[in-house]
Structures are given as C-alpha cells and as structure tokens.
Chains A and B, each alone.
Chain A
Amino acid sequence: MAAAKLSPLSAVFVGAAGGLLLLSLAFPWWGMDFIAPQYPEGLEIIVYPNRLEGDIDIINGLNHYIGMKPFSEESFPELGYLSYIVIAMAIAAFIIAFTRSKRGLYVFIAAFLIGGALGLYDIHRWLADFGTNLNDNAPIDIDPFVPPIFGENRIANFTTFSYFATGAYLVGAAFVCLLVPLWKERKT
C-alpha cells in the first residue's frame, strides 16, 4: 500500500497543481469594491498574497468617520509569509509528482484542506476585527458589523461587494487537479 505509485498522468495533474499554485502568486486572491453615490466609479481593496493594492488611503480616510482603525500592509503579518507557504506547497506538489507517492498526495490534500479552511477563517477574523472594534469616539455611531467574505453588504452610504479573485480561482483549480488522481485511482 505504502509503495503504491501514482500513474504518470496523475503525476502530471499533481505537478500542474504545483504550477497553478505558483501562478496564483501573480494574481490577486481576494478583493472588496465600495460603491457610493459620490463614488459611482467605486473604490477598491485588492489583496495579493504579499501585498495590498487599491484605494487604501482613501478608504482609511473615510473609515475613520465610523471609527474603524486604519489598515495597511503592515496590519496583516500574513502578507509577509503567505507567498512562502504557497511556494512551499508548490514545491511539495512537485516532489509528490516526481516521486509519484500516493501517501504523499493524501497528506498533501489534507494539508491543503486545512490550509484553505484556515485561510478563510483568517479573512473572516480580520473582517470581524476591523468591523467590530470601532472607536467609540467616532463621529458616526454605527453598530459593529462583519463584512461577508463573499457577497454584498451595506455600510452607511457604501455598498460593498467582496469577491474571490483570479489567484483564489487558480488555487481552487490546483485543488481540483489534486482530486483528479484521487478519482482516477480509486479502488474499483
């Protein structure tokens, strides 16, 4: 059992998963759009695995009215190491593809699932942190809120849209690539 090897085609899928993981680093993973009557063109936060882009200063400037603390790349230590985790996972995928280790693949899929769940929880944790720890002295009093990880929300004059971006979909595709060998090599 332990000696069982993945078929060559399965190994290619696992290798492809590693490639997709690397590719995902070049794209944003998550984002949020803010639309208001005065901002019909919208403001945006774009999250890459290693940095933030978008109208961060403007959004911080507006958020201070509701007492939200300002955020920046420094606020999120994950941005400092997330890309290394992804690279390590890609290397692991390449090693599994090369050694064609079935057991390795099972462990990897498990790690992937745990990592993904932790990632989603992490985003939620930050959203809850920023949305609920509002300064009481703020000019505008609003109830604490937790913006959704995905979908629409309304805060004051802003409607926000949270969404997963290209990088996240590439990670999802990588996961599908890992499941293909599982399906192909299931015991019949």
Chain B
Amino acid sequence: MKKKVISALSGLAVGVLASTVFFGNFSTPDTVSTASAKTDAEKVYVPFGEKDEYYLFASGGHSGQMFIYGVPSMRRIRTVPVFSPDPATGYGWDTHSKKMLGGYTWGDLHHPAFSETNGEYDGKYMFATDVANSRAAVMDLKTFTVKDMIEVPNTSGPHCAAFVTENTEYLFLPTRFSVPLGHQYASLDEYSEKYRGVMSAVTFDEKAQKLHIAYQVALPPWSYDLSDAGKKISKDWAVLTTYNTEEATTNLEINASQEDRDFIVLFNWKELENMVKAGKYDNVGGQKMIFPEKHKGGIYLVPVAKSPHGVDVTPDGKYFIASGKLAPLLTVFSFEKAFQAIEKKEFAGERNGIPILKYESVMEREVNPENALGPLHTQFDDKGMAYTTMFISSEIVKWNPETGEVLDRVPVQYSPGHAVAAEGDTVSPDGKYLVSLNKLAKDSYLSVGPSHPESMQLIDISGDKMKVIQSSPVDPEPHYGQMIKADKIKTVEVYPKENNNPDAVYNQKDARIVRKGNEVHVYGIAMRSKFIFDANAKRPDVIEVNEGDKVVIHLTNLDFDEDITHGFAINQYNLNMEIQPGQTNMIEFTANKPGTYPLYCTNFCSALHQEMTGYLLVKPKQ
C-alpha cells in the first residue's frame, strides 16, 4: 500500500516536471518592461511622490523671467522673475528687488549660465543677462531668488552673454549692439570710428553676493552673437561669434550679409587679466578698458562662414564648432591648431588691429549633412557626440565631431533655435535628454489665437537613435537653457534666523512701530493667520500714519514651516510683497494719499487666510 502511494506520487512529480519543461514559460513576463521597452508615456511620467531627474532652466526671453521645468516630465515648476517685476512674488515692489531692477519694468533674458567648478555645474548660482537693458544678474539656487544685478556701462545688449569660465572666475558679457563709449551721441556716419562692441568681464564675489565689472574690452564695432568658454586644454580661452563685420549701419538683413566670412573672436582671458594687472588699459568713465589695437595680445580672429550664431566647445576642450546660420556647413575648429598658428605667428593680416588666423590652419573638418540648413547651436552627450539645431530645415542632427559622420536626424516642430542637453555644455555631459527649444509652435497645441506659445520638445538621446518623447508649450521665449542633475541643487525650505538683523522680529511680543520725525518704521510679523505691527496697540494689525510720512515696513514671517509663505499688500497703494517662511522683507512708500486702506495677506496661507487683514490709516494734513 505504502509503496503504491510512493510510486503514484513520484509518477505525478515526473509528469509535472515534464510538462513544466515542455510547456512552462521561462521568458521574462511581459508586465516587467525594461528601460528600452518603455513607452514614451512611461518615460515622461513622474508619479506623485517622485521627483524629476533634472531641473531645466529655460530663459524667458523678453518676459525677463526664468522658467524652471522638471525633466523628463516637462512640467513647469516655477517662474522666477529676474529682469521684470512679478506681482506674484512682489518682485519689484519690496525694497531690495525694486532697487535691483533700477526702474526698468522689463528685460530680455537670453542665455543663462550656471556657476561652474572644474568645468562642472556646481549647482550654486545661476547667471543671466538682459539684452534689453544691459544688465547682469545672479540667482542664488538655495532660494531661487535674485541676489544682485548690475547695469553694465559702455555697452548695449549683451546677447552674446553669458558664459562662465571653468571655475566661475569670470562671467563674460559680449554685446550684440555696438554703441559709442559712454552711450554718447555720435552720427552713424562715424560708426566705424566712434562705435565699439564692448565686452565686459564680470566677477562674482560669492561671500558678499555681489557682481563687479573687472575690466572691459573695446572690440570692433561688430555684432557679437554667441560664445563659449574653453575647457580643459583650452580653459584659459574663450570664443565668440560675430556678424556684421561689414560694419553696416542700416538694413542689416542685407548689408550685414555681404561678406562670405565673418569672424570668431578667440581670446585668452588669462592674458587679458595680466594686461589689466600690468596697467595696459585706458580708463573710460571709471572702467578699465582694453583697446585691442593699442594694447596688443590675447585676442585673435578666426574666419568663419558668414553670420554664424552659436559657437560651442566640445567637452574635451579640443574643438570649437561654428557654422554660418545661412550655410549648410558645420565647421569644426581645432584649439591646438589655433595655438600652433598663434605661436608661429601665421597670420593673414589684421582687422581693426587684431591678427587674423587663416581658416585653413585652424579648421579641423567641415561637416555637411545633406539638405540640412541653418545650423545654430550645438550640445553634447556623454560620448562626445554633437547635437546641432537646424533652424531652417527644422531638425536636430546628431553627428560625431571626431569623424564628421552624421549619425541621426530627427524633425522638430518647428524651427529650433537652441537645444539644451543634460549638463550638455560641461566637461562631462550626461547624455539621456536633449530639449529642443523651438521658436514656433504653430499647430502643436490648442489654439489661443494668433499669438502662439513657443515649444520645447524633449528628446530621448540615450540610444543610438533620437526619439522625441514629449512636447511642452512655453511662454515667450526660451533662447537657451541649462539642464542640471536635480541632486546638485540644495535648496533651503525656511530662511534661517538672522539674530543680528536689526529689522527682524522673532518674538511677536517685540512687534513695534517707531516714529522718527516724519518717518514711520514698522517692525512687524506675519504668522498664520494675522499681522502684528505693534504688539502693545489696541489693534495690533493697524498702521496709522500722517499724510506725507515716509513709511518703512519690515515684516518677518514667523512661520518657520515649509511652504507657509505670506504676502503683504496695501489696497490702492499699488504695493505687494512676499515674505517667505522665516524671511524678513521690507517695503517702503510715501503715504501721499490720505484715507483708509485695507491691507491683507496675498499668498494663501491657512484656513483663516481671508481673515489675515488690517488697515493702513493715513490721517489727512490739517
């Protein structure tokens, strides 16, 4: 009996084993998709609770702002005002930002640049320049707020900025427009003699969080378009593209497109720095100005196909790539060849006192993707492959700078200006993602009438072939962007207490109003859900002043709690500011309108936010 059971069981076991061998499914279950098998939707979906892998900082162009997106979701996370006032954050109304904006009500933010350490993004600061009003600004990435802004003299429209050197020694601001020094009046008939395309070398004092102009260079009266700093072997050098070397003064579309070649300005900033140290400069309105025709050395010209836009240095620092924006050709130039030619003084004459290198002696190779037109700007991946935007043929071309081989092409909708790859202009790009910053969206999204958004398209570049996986509308107008690994940015959630800040009030009992003659200083607090301006007053949330008083309001947000931001607005006084958690912010005005003005918290803070109000009472003059 026992034996029978055992044999029956063993027979059953053999049968199961055999059927498993023959019919069992040992392939990977279909539900587990590998990375390469992910659909486009899966690649860009970031579920709640998870975060994007990269930050994308897209320049906001003539909005004057910076747009912060997450990649790969392509969700817009925040708009950070830089050169334009922003009511949502009170930027331009509180004392600090109002002073920084200097009375300008808009700006044109073009090419953003991260601070770098050893040619890598260090995630500490973001620099931006304003083509409209010749300003430079620095944003602290701990708080994503602008800390300092300067207006640069002698120059107008630093479109060619900003690029930083390998260790953020300098931020260079070459200009799009040439103007007479000091913006003096000078007839356009005297353009070649009196106008200059002044480039500024700006330094950043991290401790004081201040920008300074170290020196300026009076380059010839041409237009300077884009630039890049050298890397590794070329780290002391930088390159700029020029157009209108014809020095035309009208109808540039035609007149600045006459010559077959314009130039790349190749300069050694270490040498310029030494010239300044040696006193080889002129003083122009307080600025140390190098005149290349007089203070020789350190600056050279390389001929390039006419009217180039971008010039981009390869991650290894050996080459720079530039192309005429109307030409089909991409040219790879060699830094090493340029250095040799400079050493041997192999020059083809001079232009405006600057030695010209021979195209043939610097050119490494020419690349001509079939029917590609309008190469504007190049980014790189982790393997050193180049991705160039083609404005006119509306595509991205992937190619190998070492061989010139064209590897792949993908259409984008429509007309890409710049592209930005993951850390794509550093010494070690990440690959993975490229965002095409398209100038036209046309029919890509639901129509909002004749004025369309621009478009950003996310391209997966992890494989041999590029794949467009997401498309995202964006407000006018991203010119360039910077994409940084998210974990490099270390934000703070709450401002730390500044115990030596005399304007801060950290105990609500210390809230007070102090009158000095006709100045009224309020040292108040905001907390869920009230304002206290004077802790001892019958009505602590009321500010009473006399007509004509100067009123200075300091407010500390006593909610040291994540995302509990308060606002402070006074009706009909056109005033609003933001007070971030733990922050002490300040707003000033003259109470020149007598009457009764409600004030309230503008940033929804709590269930009783609606009750977070008070009054400004302005007593009329007797």
A62 neighbours in B (Cβ, 8 Å):
528
Whether A61 pairs with B528 at a CB distance below 8 angstroms is yes
The one of B560, B607, B608, B611 in contact with A57, judged by C-beta atoms closer than 8 angstroms, is B560
Q: Does B527 contact A (CB under 8 A)?
A: yes
Q: In the complex, what distance in Å separates the CA atom of A58 from the CA atom of B560?
A: 7
Q: In the complex, what distance in Å separates the CA atom of A55 from the CA atom of B608?
A: 21
Q: In the complex, what distance in Å separates the CA atom of A139 from the CA atom of B608?
A: 9
Whether B608 pairs with A61 at a CB distance below 8 angstroms is no
Chain B residues 560-610 with CB under 8 Å of chain A are 560-561, 607-608
Residue count of chain B within 8 Å CB distance of chain A: 9
A58 neighbours in B (Cβ, 8 Å):
559-561
Q: A57-B558, A58-B559, A61-B527 are in contact. List 10 more A-B contacts (CB 8 A).
A: A57-B560, A58-B560, A58-B561, A61-B528, A61-B559, A61-B561, A62-B528, A65-B528, A139-B608, A139-B611
A55 neighbours in B (Cβ, 8 Å):
561
A sample of 17 cross-chain residue pairs with beta-carbon separation below 8 angstroms, ordered by A number, consists of A55-B561, A57-B558, A57-B560, A58-B559, A58-B560, A58-B561, A61-B527, A61-B528, A61-B558, A61-B559, A61-B561, A62-B528, A65-B528, A65-B607, A65-B608, A139-B608, A139-B611
DSSP class of B's interface residues: helix, strand, loop or mixed? loop
A61 neighbours in B (Cβ, 8 Å):
527-528, 558-559, 561
A-B contact count (CB 8 A): 17
Q: In the complex, what distance in Å separates the CA atom of A133 from the CA atom of B122?
A: 53
Residue count of chain A within 8 Å CB distance of chain B: 7
Residue in chain A with minimal CB distance to B49? A40
Q: In the complex, what distance in Å separates the CA atom of A65 from the CA atom of B527?
A: 12
Residue in chain B with minimal CB distance to A57? B560
Residue in chain B with minimal CB distance to A40? B49
Q: In the complex, what distance in Å separates the CA atom of A58 from the CA atom of B608?
A: 16
Shortest Cβ distance from residue B612 to the other chain A in the assembled complex, whole angstroms: 12
Residue in chain A with minimal CB distance to B607? A65
B608 neighbours in A (Cβ, 8 Å):
65, 139
Residue in chain A with minimal CB distance to B494? A58
Chain B residues 210-249 with CB under 8 Å of chain A are none
B607 neighbours in A (Cβ, 8 Å):
65
Per-position binary interface string of chain B over residues 543-567, scored 1 when its CB falls under 8 Å from any chain A CB and 0 otherwise:
0000000000000001111000000
Residue in chain B with minimal CB distance to A59? B561
Per-position binary interface string of chain B over residues 47-89, scored 1 when its CB falls under 8 Å from any chain A CB and 0 otherwise:
0000000000000000000000000000000000000000000
Q: In the complex, what distance in Å separates the CA atom of A58 from the CA atom of B247?
A: 64
Shortest Cβ distance from residue B562 to the other chain A in the assembled complex, whole angstroms: 9
Q: In the complex, what distance in Å separates the CA atom of A58 from the CA atom of B528?
A: 10
Shortest Cβ distance from residue A54 to the other chain B in the assembled complex, whole angstroms: 12
Residue in chain A with minimal CB distance to B559? A61
Which of A61, A62, A65 has the most chain B CB atoms inside 10 A of its CB?
A: A61
Per-position binary interface string of chain B over residues 179-205, scored 1 when its CB falls under 8 Å from any chain A CB and 0 otherwise:
000000000000000000000000000
A139 neighbours in B (Cβ, 8 Å):
608, 611
